[in-house]
Chain A
Amino acid sequence: MFQIDGPGAVSVPPTPAADGTPGYFSDGTPGAADATVVSADWLNAIQRELIAFLTAAGVATDKQNQAQVLYAARRLLGKNMQVFTASGTFTPPAGVSRVRVRCWGAGGGGGMAIGAWQAGGAGGGGGYGEGFFDVTPGTGVAVTIGAGGTGGVTGSTFGQTGGVTSFGSLASVTGAIGGGANVNLGGDGGLIYGFPFQVVGQKGSTGRAFTNVMSAIGGASFGGAGGVQGVGDIGRSGMFPGGGGSGGATDSSGLTSTGVAAIGGAGAGGCIVVEW
């Protein structure tokens, strides 16, 4: 893109003519109607529109580059980003009235295994939502980030559900459900409200008791893997963001192969990314 610089170009923009009747270009009809005159007003308007677009994206005009509008469009979309891994407030800057929000719900914790040859259910993976939302410049939006569910422990053997993650009242994703204790069901993924694009978190797998019992795998989120599976092992934490914790698994001793209680793994926390 470049600003006209050839013969006849002037340094001061001409005053536009008075508004006419909006219409369309025409090749005219020989002997009957003239073809449309491509006026300096119209060309200057197009030129200014394009340069304004490039300027907003911080792109200097380059006569040799014919892909600058495309480049500017890509720069303007997602030019700024704010990542929330803890609760806070998003305040839209001046001039920003629409934002893109991506949200990962928290994962559920894995269940504990009690007694010999047992396996706790795994926590579900957090749900994912994405969408564009209208906001008011200068008016804060409360951002809530859910913590991952804790794994089941002695006295509280079920894996806990992750906390809710929310972008104000515009959209929310609940935490995934924790896994049950002992050969029990894995937790479901979180529920998603308000986001036009939704990916449900994976359900945690169910604990199964056999010799050399394998622990239940945590549910994966859209981006965070579930806690890994082990033999006679404690449950492992889900990966950030939103992975579910795996369940604990015991051997014949009623403990893990290293002699500790087969507690469940923790779910990973949620996250929100705002772009404008």
Chain B
Amino acid sequence: MGLFAHLRDGVVTDLLNDADGPLDHRFHPDFVAACVAVPAGVAVQVGWVRGAAGFAPAVPPAAPASWYVPVALLRQRLEAAGKWVAAATVIVTEPATMLKLMTLQQGVANDDADAIALLNGIGADPAVMLARPGA
């Protein structure tokens, strides 16, 4: 008795145990041909990949390194930090910055160089003001 992995493009799509009956009695021969035995002691899961070195977990994507902070949320943070008036004072003297803030659809990117410079200029911590929403 043993565990078998069905592979599709090198990815484990199913795990089958022949304790339920021989695979060739339960599945079409072409399906069985795409199955390989899982070595004892290897805790393979569906979604793992099988390469030359054997089975390995798939690498899940990490959360994106950059994100956006909605303008309304940024204003709330500035107000909470007592920096909103200072920020507004700078913004109204820089029409290009004002227009940019008004036209940002997704919000202010956490790595936006203009925003970081503005925040540093008024003594607000960019890491706090542009922190990931919901974090």
Contacts and interface: CB of A to CB of B under 8 A. Distances in A.
Instruction: Tell me if chain B binds chain A.
Output: yes
Interface of A: 114-118, 142, 144, 146, 149, 156-158, 160-161, 163-164, 166, 168-172, 174-175, 177-178, 180-182, 184, 191, 193-194, 210-211, 252-255
Interface string B4-24: 001010010110100001001
B14 A164 contact: yes
A158 B47 contact: yes
Given A157-B60, A158-B58, A158-B60, 16 more contacts: A114-B63, A144-B27, A156-B47, A156-B60, A158-B47, A160-B47, A161-B11, A161-B46, A168-B25, A168-B26, A172-B31, A174-B6, A174-B13, A181-B61, A194-B30, A252-B68
A-B pairs with the 3 shortest C-beta distances?
A: A193-B28, A253-B134, A115-B63
Given A166-B26, A174-B14, A115 B67 contact: yes
Interface in B64-95: 64, 67-70, 73
Interface of B: 6, 8, 11, 13-14, 16, 21, 24-32, 46-47, 58, 60-64, 67-70, 73, 105-107, 132-135
A161 B31 contact: no
Contact of B68 (A116, A156, A255): A116
A150 to B, nearest CB: 9
Interface centre among B16, B47, B105 (most CB of A within 10 A): B47
Contact of B47 (A118, A144, A146, A178): A178
A215 B11 CA distance: 24
Interface centre among B68, B105, B133 (most CB of A within 10 A): B133
A149 B15 CA distance: 13
A254 B67 contact: yes
A78 to B, nearest CB: 24
9 contacts: A114-B62, A117-B68, A149-B46, A158-B58, A160-B47, A168-B27, A181-B60, A253-B133, A254-B63
B47 A164 contact: no
A146 B6 CA distance: 13
A158 B32 CA distance: 25
A255 B133 CA distance: 9
A160 B60 CA distance: 12
Contacts of B11: 161, 177
Contacts of B27: 144, 164, 166, 168-169, 172
B4 to A, nearest CB: 11
Interface centre among A115, A210, A211 (most CB of B within 10 A): A115
A115 B63 CA distance: 5
A156 B73 CA distance: 30
Contacts of A163: 14
Given A142-B25, A164-B31, A194-B30, A211 B64 contact: no
